[in-house]
Amino acid sequence: MKAEQIVEAVLFASDAPLRPDEIARADDTLDEDAVEAALARLRAFYLESERAFQLVEVAEGYQLLTEPRFSPYLDRLETVPRPSRLSGPALEALAIIAYRQPIGRMEVEYIRGVGSSGVIRTLQDRGLIDVVGRGEGLGRPLLYGTTNYFLQHFGFRSMEDLPRPDELPVILRDRSMPILPEEEGGGEEGGGEEGGGDGDTEDPKGTSGSDGTDDGSDDLDGTDGLEGADGLAGATAPQGTKESGP
């Protein structure tokens, strides 16, 4: 059996990106160098033969995905999985977490100017963010960061591919800039987040609004970079390959 055939079979059957070392576990004759060489040959073959799918480097691994130009045809079929789109508020909160991680809920709310418990919970449920630690303030508040699935969903190879538009707000662009006023930083969440009593509708800046009513019309400048990248998640896996999407 040729290395290319083994690698292709493994990628075709996988519903998530695979690293070369993971692919190499499929056969004792494979190692990372052999897998990477096979991947290069497969990618060149797909391009030369003008296949409807491509070998994409995404989320620190490799995956077979349908070429985006075929999406109009796939949209006509109900059996083709479609990743759901994120709402404006969810994209806004996700952009803040992506650029300022690790970050606590209160800091996200301070930047957004609206309660964010609901959207943070939604992003967690979709596997785009997760708890990555605890802060040093009163109550050791939970800190959030993006997951590997975040990279997969937006089509990023790594966090280095995260859009860096010139119009990105300074509070997101400059990680050295403090978010909360110094006197507020200590009691950020009081450990109440896990209990659910964190006031979804409370506005840290005193303006009205809640996750339930925030339509995303006040999205931060710079979230457009993520929103545009969200379209990469619409690339569909070849027939016979599972595709998951939040």
Co-location of 51 and 115 in the same domain? no
pLDDT of amino acid 237: 42
Q: 216, 80 in Cβ contact below 8 A?
A: no
4: tokens are 């290319």
Domain-terminating residue out of 48, 81, 114 = 81
Looking at residue 15, which CATH number applies to its domain? Answer: 1.10.10.10
Global model pTM greater than 0.75: no
Amino acid at position 88, single letter: G
How far apart, in whole angstroms, are the C-alpha atoms of residue 165 and residue 167? 5
38 and 9 share one domain? yes
pLDDT tier, 30 (very low <50, low <70, confident <90, very high otherwise): very high
Q: What pLDDT sits at residue 233?
A: 35
- Containing structural domain, residue 200: 88-231
Domain for residue 241, yes or no? no
pLDDT at 3 > cutoff 50? yes
- State the SS3 of 16-78: CCECHHHHHCCCCCCCHHHHHHHHHHHHHHHHHCCCCEEEEEECCEEEEEECHHHHHHHCCCC
pLDDT attached to residue 40:
97
pLDDT at 244: 40
Same-domain pairing of 188 and 205: yes
Q: Which two tokens stand for residue 62?
A: 């490799």
pLDDT at 238 over 50: no
**Are residues 213 and 132 both part of a single domain?**
yes
Q: What is the pLDDT of residue 162?
A: 85
pLDDT attached to residue 124: 96
240 is a domain residue = no
Residue 177 has pLDDT above 80, yes or no: no
- Structural domain includes residue 236: no
- Domain end call among 60, 81, 102: 81
In a shared domain, residues 69 and 146: no
Over residues 132-170, the pLDDT tens digits come to: 999 887 889 999 999 999 999 998 999 888 877 565 665
Is the domain of 189 the same as that of 108? Answer: yes
| Same-domain status, 37 and 97 | no
Q: What is the per-residue pLDDT across 179-225, written as a single tens digit (0 to 9) for each?
A: 655 544 444 444 444 434 343 333 444 443 444 434 333 444 444 44
Q: Are residues 160 and 181 in the same domain?
A: yes
Residue pLDDT, tens place only, 33-84: 999 999 999 999 999 999 999 999 999 999 999 999 999 999 899 898 877 7
Residue that terminates a domain, selected from 81, 101, 128: 81
Is residue 58 one of the residues assigned to a domain? yes
Q: Please compute Rg for the chain using Cα positions.
A: 21
So what's the pLDDT on residue 142?
A: 95
Q: Is 24 exposed, middle or buried (0-12, 13-18, 19+ CB in 10 A)?
A: buried
Is residue 29's pLDDT more than 90? yes
- Bridge partners for 66 per DSSP: 53
Q: What is the pLDDT of residue 188?
A: 45
- State how many domains the chain has: 2
Residues 45 and 134 in one domain: no
| Residue 132: φ, ψ to 5° | -115, 0
pLDDT for position 171: 53
- Same domain for 227 and 105, yes or no, is yes
- What is the spatial distance between Cα 183 and Cα 131, in angstroms, rounded to a whole number? 24
> Are both 165 and 45 inside the same structural domain?
no
Assess whether pLDDT exceeds 50 at residue 116. Answer: yes
For residue 246, the model assigns a pLDDT of 40
Q: Find the mean pLDDT for residues 172-176.
A: 57
